Amino acid sequence: MTPPRLSLRGVTRRFDSVAALDGVTLDVAPGEFLALLGGSGSGKSTLLRVVAGFERPDSGTVMLDGADLLGVPPHRRPVNMMFQSYALFPHMTVAANIAYGLKREGRPRAEIASRVAEAVSMLRLEGLESRRPHALSGGQRQRVALARALVKRPRLLLLDEPLGALDANLRERTGFELRAIQRESGAAFVMVTHDQAEALALADRVAVMDRGRLVQVAPPREVYDRPATRFVAEFLGAANVITGTRTADGALESPGAACTLRPAAPLPLGVEAVALRPERVRIGPAIGENTAAGRVEDAAFRGESTLLLVRLAGGATLRVLHAEEDGAPPPPGAELRVSWDAASVVPLRA
């Protein structure tokens, strides 16, 4: 195991009665891209600010490559932060904006010139060096901000909603670029986002936050397929969360679904909810034990699929994804039977 680049242990930060961070323990590996995902007020920005040094925790430790960070003032930390607003200097050219931090460090002129040129080329900003920020597009401004952060070769880059100001098309393209740049720079990235698709698409691991705590830290596929808690399942969107009572043999009896959901392995004691992804639900005659009867209430065409809202006999609504390749979806009003594999029934902690 390589030692972690960033290591937080029991980090707590309170504001009056609110614990913005409540005992956060987290390791980030060198060269890792970690996304911090959570709703508004969950503590994401506070976590970045503690690592950057703008905020002091009430308790806990923060280490970078094994050395304590908390005693180091923000400008001395080998950590850089890129804010959502980008905070470019409006009166300075692109080149001067990028060079600013190196000048402040008192680097020799020749070194500054070569490092700025390197950053300009990495971020594909050639030809824009003498422009001022107001004469750039949103995506270009974002790349200048990134160049300015990376030119100092931080061991860790903190990014607060780096794609937040871009429109949907540009967001996707810039997201791919961001990941390529992260790999090329070798820096560890910790990116705050409240966009689950972005976190899943870009990060090596996703850390899901809720009320100051990390509820699950895992690779994207794992948080998506095996959400640990009800909060993660609901926050990552789209999963059906079905509640009920655990039976003696470890299945879930759900009055709302009017059926018993039987997982591949018995549900742990105390589990009273399971997740079932819409794309795992099949329409048609029952296969095995997991099946329920329902009626299509509504349908939304999504291009590659149609999302059906199916009202089950017990009153619960199940979201079911019907793939285009399976032909025409059943219309609203259709009575049908749905079924799913035991492996798709995911136990959720409270």
Ligand X SMILES: Nc1ncnc2c1ncn2[C@@H]1O[C@H](COP(=O)(O)OP(=O)(O)OP(=O)(O)O)[C@@H](O)[C@H]1O
- Give contact residues for ligand X (rule: CB under 6 A): 15, 18, 20, 38, 40-46, 194
Calculate helix-pair angle for 109-122, 94-104, nearest 10 degrees: 130
**Residue 152: which of 218, 190, 106 has the closest Cα?**
106
Contact 278, 321 (CB under 8 A): yes
HSE (side-chain half, CA atoms, 13 Å) at 339: 10
| Angstrom distance (rounded) from CA 286 to CA 284 | 6
| Angstrom distance (rounded) from CA 92 to CA 100 | 9
Please provide the DSSP assignment of 100-128 as one string: HHHHHTT--HHHHHHHHHHHHHHTT-TT-
| Angstrom distance (rounded) from CA 332 to CA 119 | 55
Residue with tokens 């996703």, as numbered in its chain: 206
Residue with tokens 């995911």, as numbered in its chain: 346
- Residue 271, both tokens: 């589990």
| Angstrom distance (rounded) from CA 301 to CA 308 | 9
DSSP state of 187: -
Residues forming a β-bridge with 325: none
Three-state secondary structure readout of 297-344? EEEEECCCEEEEEEEECCCCEEEEEEEHHHCCCCCCCCEEEEECCHHH
Residue 186: CB atoms within 10 Å: 10
Helix (H) or strand (E) holding 167: none
